[in-house]
Amino acid sequence: MAARGSAGDDALRRAAEQWLLWDKNPKTYAIVKQLLAEGNAGELQKYFGSRMEFGTAGLRAAMGAGISHMNDLTIIQTTQGFCRYLEKNFSDLKKRGVVIGFDARAHLSSGGSSKRFARLAANTFISQGVPVYLFSDIIPTPFVPYTVTHLKLCAGIMVTASHNPKQDNGYKVYWENGAQIISPHDKGISQAIEENQEPWPQAWDDKLIDSSPLLHDPYAMVNKEYFKDIQKQCFYRNINKETNLKFVHTSVHGVGHKFVQLAFKAFDLSPPFAVPEQKDPDPDFPTVKYPNPEEGKGVLTLSFALAEKDGARIILANDPDADRLAVAEKQESGEWKVFSGNELGALLGWWIFTCWKNNSRDARAIKDVYMLSSTVSSKILRAIALKEGFHFEETLTGFKWMGNRAKQLMDQGKAVLFAFEEAIGYMCCPAVLDKDGVSAAVITAEMASFLATRNLSLSQQLKAVYDEYGFHITKASYFICHDPKVIQQLFDNLRNFDGKNTYPKSCGRFKVSGIRDLTTGYDSSQPDQKAILPTSKSSQMITFTFANGGVATMRTSGTEPKIKYYSELCAPPGNRYCHLEPYIWCNRVCMAFWYCFREIRALHGQIILLKSF
């Protein structure tokens, strides 16, 4: 055992010494040099134990030194691999080029920042003769996929960690279709990164790009064309001009302020009140514990205060890269209701379909209309589709799946009106094949303004949607878990509940009628017991269907150290006395998930079947 440990320590030292030969960032160089001088194997393991894994979400990790973190050298290595992969896939790469955008994140101790990473990535492509459309200033994430399709580019890169903690950053990749990459591109890019780790001759001299004819700035063009395109979703301009409804907007120290203001102007809405402490970008996110509006009221404290002061009834909150949207509304009781992602998805789905129906001249066109949502999101769109006659499809979790499926349908001449995921992500405009918090914010504002002319609030309209299409009750949350062994045991226990390859048959008095395991590919509802949706052994996801029609899922996150769980049960339309049953069931199932995680974590790796499920 000692010899193996020594060999491992030697490998870490060699990796660190190789790093010093390549790293020209003085801050990360000094960190690694100090680690080597101290000879602390545990610290070296943190920095050089394993390289960041490039997946369909690209990269996301803390900024810092070493191959395990986001820094200048790992950005150069990643972009060199991506460049080589694109060269193999596009013969016209040097004619079409790529787009690169960035948010406002920065990390003083390592010298890393989104802008710095974006410039190094641009320099890598330009050194190989590839045109680069590099935004000159911070932008919302949806501007990158928009630019890919608008300019017919080969690919796009957005340097952002979205709503992750302040120390994190990320490298998000889009393909030529304007959607996030899916397999096998992730594996191909990952292999190319491994083959191109030594920095190319001009890799560190990013000043060269400033005088290169291959560098283009799409900022002004996209600011003009994007807002022109989203105006196609504006249907009540006269109401917008006259509404007395007031809105508060927060960008949570991110990039969204300017762009939401411009979106309101494009729709002829008066600008929303901006939360002054949060409207300007700040990589430290000083006023919030987590810069994620999905966390609910804790992130919206300052927004509530401003809304009370200025008499605003609705709050719109973007995450730091403005691809997500949370909405809160003041109730008649004086309390604030923060809509869940599923509730806002129901409202936006109803609104966008209603606007389409009211403006469609051919009733037969409905046969080519589609809406999408992820498999862990509410099935409210399915209920609306069944009654109204359009098509609904569910995909795997994440907009990479919805964006790619939307593009396939659009290429077949179909109209994809809307797609959403419960994690407050909404695709309201076909010009962006990804979630877009800017267009979602202004479309929500127009919807609220229209409803106000009917003396209806968003909450009242949500109730009307549920009365019409079925009362969909959902409950979702997550556990934070940094230990892969705990995660693996949790899911192994569920797969071997009463012996090998047996899943739980009930949750209290609620009977399980079906199991779908998208990690193993098992689906008890299919004749061949094989899942229809794509499977992946690199992530965990089990869905339980219950005899009462309820559905509950537990899965791992692809971008955060989270185990997420979801539940939904629907009561029939108009059957008001049944509404209590979905609440009871959702709470019972989510509590069972919580007990599973709590007991496994407490047992520190001991394998015990958890009968509390």
Place of tokens 């992820």: 374
Give the span between the Cα atoms of 164 and 141, in whole angstroms.
14
Cα 494 from chain centre: 27
- Look at residues 65, 148, 54 and name the one whose alpha carbon lies nearest to residue 99: 148
Assess contact for 134 and 157: CB atoms under 8 A.
no
Assess contact for 205 and 123: CB atoms under 8 A.
yes
Give the span between the Cα atoms of 476 and 469, in whole angstroms.
21
Place of tokens 């994809």: 416
Q: How far is CA 128 from CA 97, 153, 209, 383, 542, in A?
A: 11, 16, 12, 51, 44
Give the span between the Cα atoms of 292 and 289, in whole angstroms.
9
Give the span between the Cα atoms of 114 and 254, in whole angstroms.
12
Place of tokens 């986001």: 70
Assess contact for 329 and 312: CB atoms under 8 A.
no
Three-state secondary structure call for residue 182:
coil
Three-state secondary structure call for residue 560:
coil
- Token pair for residue 55? 């997946």
Give the span between the Cα atoms of 319 and 162, in whole angstroms.
7
For residue 223, what are the contacts with CB-CB under 8 A and spacing of at least 6?
262
Query: Which uninterrupted H or E stretch holds 517?
Result: strand 510-517
What residue type is assigned to position 70 of the chain?
Answer: M
Q: How far is CA 153 from CA 86, 100, 415, in A?
A: 11, 11, 23
What amino acid positions are annotated as catalytic residues?
A: 162
- Token pair for residue 342? 């599923």
Cα dihedral sign, 354-360-365-369:
negative
Q: How far is CA 459 from CA 340, 346, 466, in A?
A: 12, 11, 11
Output DSSP code: residue 298: G
Query: Cβ-count burial of 5 within 10 angstroms (0-12 exposed, 13-18 middle, 19+ buried)?
Result: exposed
Give the span between the Cα atoms of 401 and 381, in whole angstroms.
17
